[in-house]
Amino acid sequence: MLNKPSYKFTLIDMAVILFLITVIYLFFSRMSHFLDYKWEWEAIPSYFFFLDAVTGKIKANIFIKGFITTVKLSVWSTLLGFLMGTVSGIMGAKGSFEQRFVSRIYVETIRNIPSLVLVIIFYYFISSQFLDALYLDRWLRGTSNTIQQITRFLFAGPDQINSFISAVMALGIYEGAYVSEIVRGGIISVPDGQWEASWSIGLSRQKTFLLVILPQTFRRVAFPLAGQFISTIKDSAIVSVISVQELTFQGMELMSATFLTFEIWITITVLYFILTFSLSRSVAFLERKYALKQ
């Protein structure tokens, strides 16, 4: 069993920490003195939770609602991207010439289009044409309160469902192009001897791929896929341009109403950092733990 490396706190570490503290202090100091900016941090907590005067209960406010929407948007986009990317990756690694061609067209096209452009295209050409024609929002408004609550909990309310779905589709297709390359690389990295060993015990080509190759592929690419999920969280901020009420959109709406520009942007930054950093540290921990078992 490998010994875990010990880490010692050095003078360089101390110098880096002092440098960061100095930079932060100078930033806030210059904001106060040179720009004559009055900090109002005391107003920020009320935008996380508030006390309902009618029911007397504590309810989630703008920041929490936006944070939850960001998480839902990222989860559904990741699931869609994983499905599309897995299919495309399999086609690109072991498919026919036509399948490899389709996979390559998909990957190269999406990866060379800015994600913001893709979101806008899907909003105006998918949401405003296809989704509106399905009258999904009208159907939801006519359903029972239970169905509306479940839909709102999992996705969004009737007033936001079309924008939410178009945002999920755009982000899912965008992230799927990167997942495709991760999966394709994982399949190619499995040694050819695994195929030959499976055939020698009587497994067909299809069963070999499903029972032997694919499980090994996902073990090899599990951590890169987790990193792609973290990237999806950061990319989700761009859907604020189509009025999906995620964290960035809620923050901009709040800034226009309160003019607490820097306090709100810093708060949004911290919330994104908490979410992505905690996930990245969890992935790193699992990666080290998995490596020690090898």
pLDDT given for residue 33 in this prediction = 66
Decide yes or no: CATH 1.10.3720.10 for domain 71-239: yes
Q: Smallest Cα–Cα separation from 265: which of 37, 8, 83? A: 37
Separation of alpha carbons 84 and 102, rounded Å = 12
Query: How does residue 185 score in pLDDT terms, banded at 50, 70 and 90?
Result: very high
Separation of alpha carbons 179 and 173, rounded Å = 10
Separation of alpha carbons 118 and 113, rounded Å = 7
Separation of alpha carbons 167 and 113, rounded Å = 16
Q: pLDDT by residue (tens digit) across 150-163?
A: 999 999 988 888 88
Q: pLDDT by residue (tens digit) across 131-145?
A: 777 788 888 888 889
Q: Which residue has the tokens 């942007």?
A: 265
Domain limits, the chain: 71-239
pLDDT given for residue 35 in this prediction = 64
Burial of 136 (0-12, 13-18, 19+ CB in 10 A): middle
* pLDDT reading at 9 higher than 90: no
Q: Smallest Cα–Cα separation from 175: which of 257, 101, 74? A: 74
Separation of alpha carbons 255 and 221, rounded Å = 40
